Amino acid sequence: MFFKDLKGQDQAVSALKNYIRQRHLSGGYIFSGPDGVGKKMAALACAQKLNCLESSFDEPCGKCSSCLKINNLAHPDLHIINNGDDEIKIDDVRLLQRQISFRPYEGAMQVFIIDNAHRLNSDSSNALLKVLEEPPKHNLIILITSKPRLLFNTISSRCKVIRFYVLPRQKLELILKNDYACDAQTAHFLAFYAEGSLGEALKLSAGQIMQKKNDLLDNFVFSSKPGQGFARISAKEDARFYLNLFAATMRDVYLVKAGLGADQMINADRAPEISKIAQRLTFNRIEGICSGISESIGYLESNINIRLLLNNLGAQLWQT
Ligand SMILES: [Zn+2]
């Protein structure tokens, strides 16, 4: 992990580098910002830099045994709590309390990363508070969260906050083209659809999003027999994924009808076909389909017949 790989987070990176240079990076920090913008990568870069065995300016070397161990999440002085969407319980924090009472095992500093820190409950927050009030030397505690408002005030007030932001769309598009070898059409689509999150864009790209969304367009949105095109979708998660893509497409249809240019379309690569649909449908019908999509996403939670749901939505595209 290198600080230079954190794209578009100049403010956070320069604050962290300053703290490291002044040897002030210790105690409690909150890395706050949307998912997929590099918070965890930044936390690991800090852990590497603080424990790196090579003296290099600003960046960890990435090659020494300490950097390599942290890269593999196998360094004895790196402790990560990640319970996903489950609560972080008091036992998790008690373990941290025990570990933090020891000196670093082989590095210069112990680094504790608490991912999804907004999942700390009141008991575990209180236990953590005790540590944050008087953190032993040679320790860094990083709380990572996309929902900082859910953290207890007592916790937030004892930590320094480093903010991470989504990237402006044009900037994300450029990064995807220049640093990740995305072709222009893919970079354009991802920059819109991932809403400024580089991590989300890369995840979508790895999941063959372009192929899937064009499959949806060809076999459902542009097909006069949309019910047949997606007869195979039966899993809730698939249906949710395609309904979200469908919603993005209908947004394009609406905006084209309202006179916006192709460069503002999510599916700019399919602009001519989307314009044709925009000509055929009235604003009322487009709005009806959009609310049908939102309702359908809501219905997915109940035991609804997904095929029927998609058939009904598809039929509205061609009703006269
Ligand atoms: Zn190193």
Cα separation, 320 vs 315, whole angstroms: 10
pLDDT of residue 309: 79
Whether 115 contacts 88, CB under 8 Å: no
Q: How far is the CA of 72 from the centre of ligand 1 (A)?
A: 13
Tokens standing for residue 133: 């009030």
**Percent of the chain, pLDDT > 90?**
73
Q: How far is the CA of 266 from the centre of ligand 1 (A)?
A: 41
Residue predicted with more confidence, 223 or 230: 223
- Would you say residue 227 has pLDDT above 70? no
Whether 165 contacts 9, CB under 8 Å: yes
User: Picking from 40-44, 54-58, 229-233, which range would have the lowest pLDDT averaged per residue?
Assistant: 229-233
Whether 83 contacts 49, CB under 8 Å: no
Tokens standing for residue 230: 């997606």
- Would you say residue 9 has pLDDT above 90? yes
Q: How far is the CA of 308 from the centre of ligand 1 (A)?
A: 57
Scored b (16 or more CB within 10 A) or e, 244-254 reads ebbbbbbbbbb
Confidence at 231, pLDDT banded by 50, 70, 90: low
- Would you say residue 291 has pLDDT above 70? yes
Between the CA of residue 92 and those of 51, 135, 148, what are the distances in Å?
24, 17, 20
Residue ranges of domains in the chain: 3-163, 208-318
Please compute, for residue 43, the number of CA atoms within 13 A of its CA located in the half-sphere on the CB side: 30
What's the chain's average pLDDT?
91
Neighbours of ion ligand 1 (CB under 5 A): 52, 54, 60-61, 64, 67
pLDDT of residue 226: 67
Q: How far is the CA of 64 from the centre of ligand 1 (A)?
A: 4
Q: How far is the CA of 69 from the centre of ligand 1 (A)?
A: 10
Q: What is the pLDDT averaged over residues 244-269?
A: 92
pTM to 2 decimal places: 0.83
Rounded to 10 degrees, the C-alpha dihedral 243/34/11/112 comes to -140
- Would you say residue 70 has pLDDT above 70? yes
Q: How far is the CA of 56 from the centre of ligand 1 (A)?
A: 8
pLDDT digits (tens, 9 = 90+) for 106-118: 999 999 999 999 9
Q: What is the pLDDT averaged over residues 38-43?
A: 96
Q: How far is the CA of 58 from the centre of ligand 1 (A)?
A: 11
Burial class (CB in 10 A: 0-12, 13-18, 19+), 132: middle
The amino acid at 196: G
CATH architecture of 3-163: 3-Layer(aba) Sandwich (3.40)
User: Picking from 107-111, 175-179, 287-291, 297-301, which range would have the lowest pLDDT averaged per residue?
Assistant: 297-301
Whether 122 contacts 152, CB under 8 Å: yes
**Percent of the chain, pLDDT > 70?**
98
Q: How far is the CA of 59 from the centre of ligand 1 (A)?
A: 9
Q: Which residues contact 208 (CB under 8 A, 6 or more apart)?
A: none
Tokens standing for residue 130: 């005790």
pLDDT digits (tens, 9 = 90+) for 262-283: 889 999 999 999 999 999 999 9
Q: How far is the CA of 9 from the centre of ligand 1 (A)?
A: 22
pLDDT of residue 135: 85
Q: How far is CA 260 from the centre of its chain?
A: 28
Q: How far is the CA of 36 from the centre of ligand 1 (A)?
A: 25
pLDDT digits (tens, 9 = 90+) for 152-161: 999 999 999 9
| Among the listed residues 228, 192, 198, 197, the one whose alpha carbon sits nearest the alpha carbon of residue 213 | 192
Fold designation for 208-318: Zinc Finger, Delta Prime; domain 3 (1.20.272)
Q: How far is the CA of 71 from the centre of ligand 1 (A)?
A: 10
Q: How far is the CA of 235 from the centre of ligand 1 (A)?
A: 45
Cα separation, 306 vs 283, whole angstroms: 26
Q: How far is the CA of 100 from the centre of ligand 1 (A)?
A: 23
Whether 217 contacts 273, CB under 8 Å: yes
- Would you say residue 229 has pLDDT above 70? no
| Among the listed residues 171, 170, 169, 164, the one whose alpha carbon sits nearest the alpha carbon of residue 145 | 164
Confidence at 248, pLDDT banded by 50, 70, 90: very high
